[in-house]
Each structure stands twice: as structure tokens, then as C-alpha cells.
Amino acid sequence: MNRAVVVGAGVLGACVAYHLARAGTDVVVLEEAGPASGTSGATFSADVTHLKTPHAYYRLNRQGSDGHRALAEELDGPQWRHPAPIVQWADNDDAQRALHERATRVRKWGHDCRTEPASVLRELAPAVDPTACAADEVVVHTGTAWFDAPRLVHALLDAAVRLGARTHYGTRVTGLLRSGARVVGVEAGERRWGADTVVNCAGPAADQIAVLAGARLPLRHVPGLVAESAPLAEQPLTAILSAPGIDLRPTTDGGVLALSWEVDARLTGTAADGLPQELHRRGRTVVPGMGGARIAAARIGVRPVPLDGLPLVGEAETAPGLYHLVSHSAVTLAPVLGRLAAQEITGGRRAQELAAYRPERAVDGDVQDENLRAMNRRAGRGDGNSEGQL
């Protein structure tokens, strides 16, 4: 029987562990804290397929998005996939034009999106103050969803355990066992686990796991803040909104989750003094019902962002036996990346879909993903006067 050790219990670790266990692999998941305690517990976690370029990367995200639907039917437990339209608008001509250009592009790629008069907000998102949208038209994406990422992680790990996987929380991997160049297991303090494959799903700490094998993973660490409101008293939010300077989505218990790249640009270290309040204030200008709901939680997550913006997936050339599985937008991508990685690890064919994302490719810092280029620009500007992230 093949043995795999998965390092990290975020969306990627949970998804690959589930698919490995399903394929009959002897799986051990080692997690330094608890399930979804890293970035997957502090994320906006909307389906971001429509943002992705180039076309092949869009298609990969589309497979991720479709994979969520399939997994939602396959797994028991509380639902984590929440279908909702994405509604976008901007507050200046350039940004509005960019939204329309993107809509035209993804429509050509078969994406379900359209331009509508702004009055459609009354129907799709009655919780929105109509005066918050000065644009005549909005872009509406349908077939989209937001995800409760911690619930997804728990559902996948529970299913993996039912299939025989073992989980060890509070277990920090501190070293890799080697036989020559080959990685043959891990150590966590005094404990050791042998494995045919060690799967590096440590998210923003994945580069540190790579260093243990003398390898380098070209990652940037980009912090982001999300603030969650208590449940709204009256009209709940029914759409995912990308408004100027603020993104908003519903939460599982009827509140609203807020994110803003301009606010993220003001994050220093881990301190978020006053910034959750700033997110809440921005949110209230769009969804007035947030005014009567206190801030229930605020979290900072660190985005693991490969230098060219695209995933890093595959066995390390210099350290066979170590398989990297790292990506930004990994909530959207987890179902497809977890499935394809498990297929490669269990000795199936090398997945053609992953050929462009091998960890050893030349990553010269040119960001391939247009969405990340925009994030870099806006976060750098931090002037609070632009589009939302989505």
C-alpha cells in the first residue's frame, strides 16, 4: 500500500488527503494547529474563476468550481457551497470599462455573465442601498458561489478519516527524512513517519517545508483582513458584491463578510487596529443593515502567492518523494488540484492540466494572472478609490 504524509490541514491538504484515501493510500495528515487554522480559516472564499487569466488557468479554475458541485453531492455533513450571483460595479469610467472588457472576455470563454441595468440590484440583492451604486449598469455572474472553507475542510477530513486516514493535530513538522536525495518521511520533534510521498500543503509556510529539503519555492506572503458582522436583523445579503473599495458576501449565519484590497494595503505585520472598523464602515455604505450588526470577528490570513501568480504543483525535481501543492485562490481550486495531485501521487498518469504549474518552472516575477496584477497595483496605491477585488 502506498503511504503518504500530508503536511497541513487547510483546503489543499484536506482535499488531497480525501482523494488519496479514496484511492486506497495509507494517509497521515500532520497539522501544526487544527483543521483550517491557517489561511483557509481567514479567507473571503468566493468562487473567483471569472477573474483568472490566461485562458488555461481560467479553465483550471472552472474545473475547481465544477469540482465543488461534485464534492457537495459526494460528501455528507453541513453544506459549505452557497450558490449566489456575483454583482460588480465601479465608480469611474476606466474601472467600469475594465469590468465590461472582462465580462466580454469570459463570456467568450463560455462563462455565464451578463450586463444588467443597476436596478437589477433590487431583485438580486435587496439588502443593498440603491444609492450606493452610481453606475448605470452592473456586471452579473451567475452559476457562482461562496464557500464556507472551514466547513469544507472538516467535511473532507471527516470523509478521509472514514476511509482510513489518520490525523494528528498540534503536530508541527520540523524535518524531512532522507535516503540520498529522496524524501522518505517526516519528523515532528521526536516522532517520525515514513512515507512514499510527503505532500507539502503548508500554505504560506510551504516555502519553509521546501527549505527542509534544500529546495526553494518562489512564494510571496500577502496578508489580508476579513471582518465578519453579526447576523443582519432584517434583510439578509443574497449576493456576492464587488463594489468600489469593498467586497461583501453573506456568511453562514446571516451576517456579512467584508474584504478590501485598499484596507489590506494598510495592514502592518499582524496588527489590524481600527481596520476591521474601517471594513465595517465601508460595508455599511453599501448594505445599510450592517449598521445594526456588531463586528462578530476579524481575521488576518496570509495568501500564499507564487511569484507568477500561478499554482506550484508537483514533485520536487531535486527532492523526489516531496510533492508541493501550493496556490493562491486555493479555495476555488482545491477540488481540482487535490484530485489531480492525488492521481499523480498514486502513480496514475501525469496530469496534462498541471503541466504549466510545475514548481521548477522559470518564475521570473512576471505575474501571469491579471487579477493578481490588479491586486498588486491597487494594494500598492491604497487610495480607497477603485474597484473591488472580485
Ligand X SMILES: Cc1cc2nc3c(=O)[nH]c(=O)nc-3n(C[C@H](O)[C@H](O)[C@H](O)COP(=O)(O)OP(=O)(O)OC[C@H]3O[C@@H](n4cnc5c(N)ncnc54)[C@H](O)[C@@H]3O)c2cc1C
What are the residues binding ligand X (CB under 6 A)?
7-13, 30-33, 37-40, 42-46, 48, 172-173, 201-205, 224, 226, 259, 301, 303-304, 326-332
Q: Which is nearer to ligand X, 34 or 291 (CB)?
A: 34
Q: Which is nearer to ligand X, 42 or 195 (CB)?
A: 42
144-60-34-172 Cα dihedral, nearest 10 degrees:
-160
**Min CB(109)–ligand X separation in Å:** 18
SS3 content of the chain, % helix, strand, coil (to 5): 35, 25, 40
Q: Which is nearer to ligand X, 15 or 140 (CB)?
A: 15
**Min CB(258)–ligand X separation in Å:** 10
What b/e sequence results for 286-311 when a residue is b if at least 16 CB atoms lie within 10 Å of its CB, and e otherwise?
bbbbbeebebeebbbbbbbbbbbbbb
Q: Which is nearer to ligand X, 269 or 349 (CB)?
A: 269
**CA 127, CA 111: separation in Å to the nearest integer?**
26
**Min CB(143)–ligand X separation in Å:** 16
Whether 238 contacts 250, CB under 8 Å: yes
Q: Which is nearer to ligand X, 118 or 297 (CB)?
A: 297
Q: Which is nearer to ligand X, 152 or 232 (CB)?
A: 152
Estimate to the nearest angstrom the gap between the alpha carbon of 24 and the chain centroid. 27
For the chain, what is the total number of helices (H) and then of strands (E)? Answer: 10, 19
- Strands, DSSP E only, in 211-338? 219-229, 240-243, 246-250, 256-259, 295-306, 312-315, 322-326
**CA 128, CA 130: separation in Å to the nearest integer?**
6
* DSSP structure class, residue 268: B
CA atoms within 13 A on the CB side of 148: 18
Q: Which is nearer to ligand X, 46 or 237 (CB)?
A: 46
**CA 11, CA 257: separation in Å to the nearest integer?**
19
Whether 175 contacts 212, CB under 8 Å: yes
Cell 496530469 -> residue: 351
**Min CB(168)–ligand X separation in Å:** 9
Q: Which three cell numbers stand for residue 91?
A: 465608480
Q: Which is nearer to ligand X, 282 or 303 (CB)?
A: 303
User: Which residue, judged by CB position, is nearest to ligand X in the bound state?
Assistant: 10
**Min CB(222)–ligand X separation in Å:** 7
**CA 147, CA 332: separation in Å to the nearest integer?**
8
**Min CB(315)–ligand X separation in Å:** 17
**Min CB(61)–ligand X separation in Å:** 8
**Min CB(158)–ligand X separation in Å:** 16
**Min CB(348)–ligand X separation in Å:** 22
Q: Which is nearer to ligand X, 255 or 304 (CB)?
A: 304
